Amino acid sequence: MTETNGAAVQIVAPTEPTEPTDSRPGKGRRSTPKSTVGVRPTVIVDNLHITYRVFATGRPAGSKDNQNRWLKRSPSMRRAREVHAVRGISFTAYEGEAIGVVGSNGSGKSTLLKAIAGLVPSSQGAVYSDTNPTLLGVNAAIINELSGERNIMLGGLALGMSLDEVKAKYQEIVEFAGIKEEFLDLPMRTYSSGMAARLRFAIAASVSHRVLLVDEALAVGDKGFQKRSEQRIRELRSTAGTVFLVSHALPAITKTCNRVLWVEQGQLKMDGPTKEVVDAYSNSAS
């Protein structure tokens, strides 16, 4: 995130602000009358800007006033720095779409997903959705000090299931996550990161979501789990849900997604069918 905090002018230049985000024919997702007949949008992101206020600690890199640093310490240490992580992204996601999100580290992908999940307030623009989308991140533990079994119970209840519903789904969740029986009554902090991520995904995927956001969470799972989760993503799509998938593993995106957003420096660089965007993205990277 810190790498995007330069001046806005400096950033906008290389990304050609007019070309990237629009002018894609084909899908016609913008011209509302034509192609949205019978297809409902699930998420509308409208000129979204996200600005973090960060209390920067220490002096800005490269400052030279080492001699008087004790005198100048307080202002420079407490200055709130604005980090402009997302700079005007707009798109509309429809039912049944699986949308991959690619881009280099620090390009704003995760922030974008958090905003779509309603977890980060926008500083400008808006995100519209009919329910609160669910975000699955890599390091979002549920409750570390409680056992896997308690986490399944609590996660299910938090998602709005009744006690009986959770009990009915319990076995299914355990099997999906592929957690061995002997681990279930151990606290979740003793789980490997892969196990924890699998359990979280299994809990979240146990109810049908209109919109599910997956941030690298599948990458930690093993082969069998990846197969099951890809299958689950396809099911969610077929029940008129929308899935967003942030990943640096391009094969995972090509296998599951039908549309890809390429985010670079907080802006939408490209938005289109998977193959097209992934090809352009991998060419630019090499």
**Residues at the site binding another protein, with contacts judged by CB under 8 A:** 17-18, 21-23, 30-32, 40-44, 46-47, 52, 88, 90-92, 115-122, 126-130, 132, 134-137, 140-146, 150, 153-155, 157-160, 162-163, 187, 200, 204, 268
Torsion-angle region of residue 122: left (phi > 0), alpha (psi -120 to 50) or beta? Answer: beta
Q: Which of residues 131 and 282 has its CB atom nearest to another protein in the complex?
A: 131
Q: Is 106 exposed, middle or buried (0-12, 13-18, 19+ CB in 10 A)?
A: middle
Closest distance to another protein from the beta carbon of 47 (Å): 5
In angstroms, the CA 122 to CA 52 distance is 9
In angstroms, the CA 111 to CA 117 distance is 10
Closest distance to another protein from the beta carbon of 254 (Å): 25
Q: Which of residues 180 and 189 has its CB atom nearest to another protein in the complex?
A: 189
By the 8 A CB rule, do 133 and 213 touch? yes
Q: Which of residues 142 and 246 has its CB atom nearest to another protein in the complex?
A: 142
Closest distance to another protein from the beta carbon of 62 (Å): 26
Closest distance to another protein from the beta carbon of 5 (Å): 15
Instruction: Name the phi and psi angles at 72, rounded to 5.
Output: -90, 0
Q: Which of residues 25 and 251 has its CB atom nearest to another protein in the complex?
A: 25
In angstroms, the CA 116 to CA 99 distance is 13
- Eight-class DSSP state of 55: E
Closest distance to another protein from the beta carbon of 176 (Å): 16
Q: Which of residues 40 and 275 has its CB atom nearest to another protein in the complex?
A: 40
Cβ neighbours of residue 202 closer than 8 Å, sequence gap 6 or more: 173, 174, 176, 177
Three-state SS for 159?
Answer: coil
Closest distance to another protein from the beta carbon of 203 (Å): 8
Q: Which of residues 52 and 255 has its CB atom nearest to another protein in the complex?
A: 52
- Alpha helices in 205-286, H assignment, sequence order: 223-238, 250-256, 274-285
For tokens 């099951």, the residue is 228
